[in-house]
Structure 1
Amino acid sequence: MGKPTVGILHPGSMGAAVAACAATNATAVLWCEAERSPESAARAAQFGLTPVTTLSELLNRSDIVISLCPPAAAEDLARDIAGHRFDGLYVEANAINPERAQRITALLEPDATVVDGGVVGSPPVRGKTPTLYLSGPAAATERIETLFASTAVQSAVLGTEVGKASALKLAYASFQKTSRVLVALAVGMARGHGVDQELIEVASRRTGSYLSEPEYVAKTAARAWRWGPELEEAADALAAAGLPPEMLRAAASTLARWHDVKDDSELTLTDALDRLAQP
Structure 2
Amino acid sequence: MTVVGVLHPGSMGAAVAAQASLNGAEVLWCPAGRSSATRERAQKYGFTAVSGLGELTARADVILSICPPAHAEDVAVEVSSHSFAGIYVDGNAISPASMARVHAIVGRTGVTVVDGSVIGSPPSASKTARLYLSGPADALTPVASLFERSAVHVRLLSGGIGRASALKLSYSSYQKASRVLAAVSYALARDYGVEEELLDIAQGRSTSYLAETAYIPKAAARSWRWGPEMREVAYALQEAGLPADLAEASASVMSRWDDLKDSPPNISQALERLHISQDSEPD
TM-score, normalised on structure 1?
A: 0.73
Q: 1:160 deviation in Å?
A: 4.6
Report matched runs for 1:1-279 at 5 Å. 3-110=1-108, 111-208=110-207
Q: Is the 8 A contact 1:178 1:248 kept in 2?
A: no
> 2: CA distance between counterparts of 1:195 and 1:187?
9
Q: Which amino acid aligns with 2:33?
A: E
Q: Which amino acid aligns with 1:207?
A: S
Q: 1:117 deviation in Å?
A: 0.1
Percent identical pairs in the alignment equals 49
> 2: CA distance between counterparts of 1:130 and 1:27?
19
Report the 3-state secondary structure (helix = DSSP H, G, I; strand = E; otherwise coil) of the residue aligned with 1:174: helix
> 2: CA distance between counterparts of 1:249 and 1:7?
44
Q: Which amino acid aligns with 1:151?
A: S
In the alignment, structure 2 segments of 5+ residues that lack a partner are: 210-244, 251-283
Q: Is the 8 A contact 1:94 1:118 kept in 2?
A: yes
Q: 1:209 deviation in Å?
A: 6.0
> 1: CA distance between counterparts of 2:172 and 2:54?
33
The number of equivalent residue pairs is: 214
> 1: CA distance between counterparts of 2:75 and 2:189?
43
Larger Rg, first or second structure (1 or 2): 2
| CA deviations over 1:213-272 (Å, ceiling 9, x no partner) | xxxxxxxxxxxxxxxxxxxxxxxxxxxxxxxxx859979xxxxxxxxxxxxxxxxxxxxx
Q: Is the 8 A contact 1:138 1:160 kept in 2?
A: no
Q: Is the 8 A contact 1:11 1:68 kept in 2?
A: yes
Q: State the partner residue of 2:223.
A: none
Q: Is the 8 A contact 2:134 2:156 kept in 1?
A: yes
| CA deviations over 1:152-172 (Å, ceiling 9, x no partner) | 101111015100000001101
Report the RMSD for the aligned CA atoms in angstroms. Answer: 2.1
Highest RCO, 1 vs 2 (Cα 8 Å, sep ≥ 6): 1
Q: 1:55 to 1:248 in 2, by over 3 A?
A: farther
Report the 3-state secondary structure (helix = DSSP H, G, I; strand = E; otherwise coil) of the residue aligned with 1:133: strand
Report the 3-state secondary structure (helix = DSSP H, G, I; strand = E; otherwise coil) of the residue aligned with 2:131: strand
TM-score, normalised on structure 2?
A: 0.72
> 2: CA distance between counterparts of 1:248 and 1:20?
41
Q: Is the 8 A contact 1:203 1:209 kept in 2?
A: no
| CA deviations over 1:149-196 (Å, ceiling 9, x no partner) | 111101111015100000001101111111111110100001111111
Report the 3-state secondary structure (helix = DSSP H, G, I; strand = E; otherwise coil) of the residue aligned with 2:83: coil
> 2: CA distance between counterparts of 1:24 and 1:249?
47
> 1: CA distance between counterparts of 2:27 and 2:105?
24
In the alignment, structure 1 segments of 5+ residues that lack a partner are: 211-245, 252-279
> 1: CA distance between counterparts of 2:174 and 2:111?
33
Q: 1:50 deviation in Å?
A: 1.1
Q: Which amino acid aligns with 2:93?
A: A
